Structure 1
Amino acid sequence: MRLSAAAVAFAATLPYAFAQTSTDCDPLEKTCPNDTGLNSKSFKADFTSDGGLSSWTEAVATKIELGDQGAEFSISGDKDAPTVETDFYIFFGRVDVTMKAAPGQGIVSSVVLESDDLDEIDWEWLGGDTTQVQTNFFGKGNTTTYDRGGYSSVSSPQDTYHTYTIDWNEERIEWIIDGSTVRTLTYDDPTTLGGKNYPQTPMRVKLGSWCGGCAEAEGTVEWAGGKTTFD
């Protein structure tokens, strides 16, 4: 069985971040080269066209096809985690993704903004949850608590295209579905620990899916909705 998530389009409206050399490196642990920024105020990717993946990098072993329905990310085994990420970083801005989530027990679809020092802003969908989407954020990879997540209602995310938005600036983050704000996080929210855990470093945009129901950790399997089978 092949489980797929489809993304039709990606668009971003962004402040300028000047182009520089990029590498995978945590600047909290060592000196790192500068990140590559986007030299325009906006960027759009149409995944129904052949050139839709220009300016994106595919993770190793990613299974992805472009077609009339957009970019289809496929999982056919427990080690599959098809993912693409932008070749550039953004530092505040608005990101819109029009997509369907992947169906299937334990299958997780995600739209993630993530920095080299592990600031993170997320949308996550569980393949067995047909009524909700999860939102979350992390600061500098801090996973000492898991009280920062939220749930928002959405109709049939596996069967219906919706536009999911992250609108991020230095004062607040908004998660938006089809133009309606479903969650707002402010810089001084108690869960940011006085702003320390508020995402505030340049990020790449990552789109993908993975098998949470294939994980070894029981807590991850439970969160993902149960064990995944590929019969």
Structure 2
Amino acid sequence: MFTRRWRTAAATAVALLSGVSYAQTWSACNPLHSKSATCPANTALGMTVNVDFTKGEVNSFVASGGVPTYGRDGASFTVAKGGDAPQLASVFYIMFGRVEVTMKAAPGKGIVSSLVLLSDTLDEIDLEWLGSDSNTVQTNYFSKGAASGYNRAEFNPAANNQAEWITYTVDWTADRIIWYVGKTVVRTLRYNDANGQYPQTPMQVKFGAWAGGDPSNSPGTIEWAQGPTDYSQGPFSMHVRSAVVTDYSTGKSYTYEGNSGTWQSIRSDGGKINGNLGGAASITVTASAAGAANTASPTIPVGGIGKGSGTSGGAGSQTVGAGSIPDGWRMTPDGKIKPVGSSTMSTYKRRKKFNKYTRTHIHSLSLSFSPLFQNFGLFCYTNTKIYFFQ
């Protein structure tokens, strides 16, 4: 995970254009520190999507820090050398909701698999798996990027998580967060128990793998990740078969009103906050886990996926940023952004419509989150092109 924000957009440009990635999270426009009107609205999911990664990539999730591969195991996030930190991030946000990811964690000493919900204000909800421990998942949360009070992390049971397909769920409302392993509740956090540190702003969904045990990382991070990482024993892969994401709110986008960072300050454009609460089927709980271990370690990272590698080609930098779905386009239930009526539009016409807006051909998908491209609302990509829309 990333712990610090870059101070200038210039540093971002240098890193991106030189091919060097740094292990830090920052917000392209943090509504807590900017006039809310100057920050772009967050694209709302406003529905449920069920993405089957065994069928390949979808353009509602964008890669950075390395490119996942796709096959019968779904999306594979492989760490083979220092600096590898492949991940996918949603182009949409949810304002309260549920995220269900079916996956196998990556093995390997110092290797970390991560599932992160992250907002522009750096509110955060995490699940992380350490490659040295195939029977545990770490759950954590942060508010506004504050890393004080490290006892918020827990290590919860998740048996045989590197060999078996397990569905992990985060169910997040204004009142509580519930973490599930399969159909077992492993942790519940209530708003009143969070001591003012409750995540409550629109979140992107991110998941991927990285080397917390990379020798270039701080000693504390290496210790937390149970490293150091020996790349000669790799490669190490996390596999994600599917992701089901439900937005408990509705509308086209979410906008911050003021700088409070409370959920009551979030406005939905064309919808309602909590307008879809109860729109998702309930999870049948079969058990509640006991015996979670708290940790007071100050080395637990905050802020995203890919913390700690400051080497050339290091872990991919994380930018929290907004996109939009332009008029005439729609999100499908399987997580694809398509033109309205695309089922009847010819391939040639779709290509012509795309090319009208083509801005550049680039190799690194991480550029799509750069401040250099803040004026572009939506990026759709194929294996060879990224299409930008204003």
Q: Shift of residue 85 of structure 1? A: 0.4
Q: Could you say what secondary structure the match of 1:48 adopts?
A: helix
* Corresponding residue of 1:128: 132
1:169 equivalent to 2:169? Answer no
Match of 1:42 in 2: 48
Query: Under a length normalisation based on structure 1, what TM-score does the superposition of the two structures give?
Result: 0.85
How many angstroms does 1:24 deviate by?
A: 3.1
SS at the partner of 2:54? coil
Question: Shift of the alpha carbon at 1:57?
Answer: 1.1
Shift of 1:131: 1.3
Larger radius of gyration: 2
SS in 2 for 1:213: coil
Tell whether 2:112 aligns with 1:108: yes
Match of 1:222 in 2: 223
Letter in 2 for 1:56: F
Partners of 2:217 and 2:186 lie apart in 1 by 32
Within-5 A mapping of 1:73-84: 73-84=77-88
Task: Read off the aligned partner of 1:203 and give its amino acid letter.
Answer: M
Q: Which runs of 5+ in 2 are unaligned?
A: 1-26, 233-390
**Aligned partners of 1:57, 1:95: CA distance in 2, in Å?**
17
- Partners of 2:149 and 2:209 in 1: CA distance: 24
Q: In the alignment, what sits opposite 1:202? A: 202
Instruction: Using the TM superposition, give the Cα deviation of residue 180 of structure 1 relative to its aligned residue in structure 2, in angstroms.
Output: 1.2
- Deviations along 1:162-196, one digit per CA (max 9) or x if unpaired, are 0000000000000001111110000011xx22xx2
> How far, CA to CA, are the matches of 1:82 and 1:120 in structure 2?
19
Q: Is the 8 A contact 1:172 1:185 kept in 2?
A: yes
Q: Match of 2:150? A: 146
Letter of the 1:149 counterpart: A
Greater percentage in helix: 2
Deviation track 1:14-51 (CA, whole Å, cap 9, x = no partner) reads: xxxxxxxxx83211111311111114x2111110003x
Residues 106-115 or 149-158, more deviating: 149-158
CA distance in 1, matches of 2:154, 2:55: 34
**8 Å CA contact retained: 1:100, 1:161:** yes
Deviation at 1:226, TM superposition (A): 1.5
Aligned-partner Cα distance in 1 for 2:48–2:222? 38
User: Displacement of 1:155 after TM fit?
Assistant: 1.3
The match for 2:212 is: 212
Deviations 1:118-153 (A, max 9, x none): 000000000010111100000000012211001111
Distance 2:59 2:180 in 1: 26
How far apart, in 2, do the equivalents of 1:35 and 1:154 lie?
Answer: 33
Give the counterpart letter for 1:171 in structure 2: D
How far the C-alpha of 1:77 sits from its partner, in A, is 1.2
Instruction: Look up the SS of the partner of 2:45 in the other structure.
Output: coil
Distance 2:78 2:58 in 1: 16
Q: What is the Cα-based RMSD across aligned positions, in Å?
A: 1.2
Q: 1:15 maps to what in 2?
A: none
The answer (yes or no) to whether the contact 1:175–1:181 under 8 Å persists in 2 is yes
Aligned residue identity for 2:62: T
1:20 maps to which residue? Answer: none
Q: TM-score, normalised by structure 2?
A: 0.51
Query: In structure 2, how many angstroms separate the alpha carbons of the residues matched to 1:206 and 1:85?
Result: 4
Query: Quick one: distance in 2 between partners of 1:100 and 1:24?
Result: 31
CA shift for structure 1 position 71: 0.4
Say which is worse superposed, 136-145 or 26-35, in terms of deviation.
26-35
Bigger RCO (CA 8 Å, 6+ sep): 2
2:43 partner amino acid = T
Mapped to 2, the partners of 1:133 and 1:171 lie a distance apart of 23
Shift of 1:216: 2.2
Of the candidates 40, 55, 59, which is equivalent to residue 60 of structure 2? 55
Question: Which secondary structure state, in structure 1, belongs to the residue aligned with residue 115 of structure 2?
Answer: strand
Matched, 1:95 2:105: no
How many residues are treated as equivalent by the alignment? 202
Partner of residue 3, structure 2: none
Once the two structures are overlaid, the 10-residue window that deviates more, 103-112 or 28-37, is 28-37
Mapped partners of 2:213, 2:67: distance in 1: 19
1:63–1:75 CA contact under 8 A, matched in 2: no
Tell me what 2:314 maps to: none
Normalized per residue, the structure richer in strand is 1
Aligned partners of 1:63 and 1:227: how far apart in 2?
24
Q: Secondary structure at the match of 2:156?
A: strand
Percent sequence identity over aligned pairs:
47
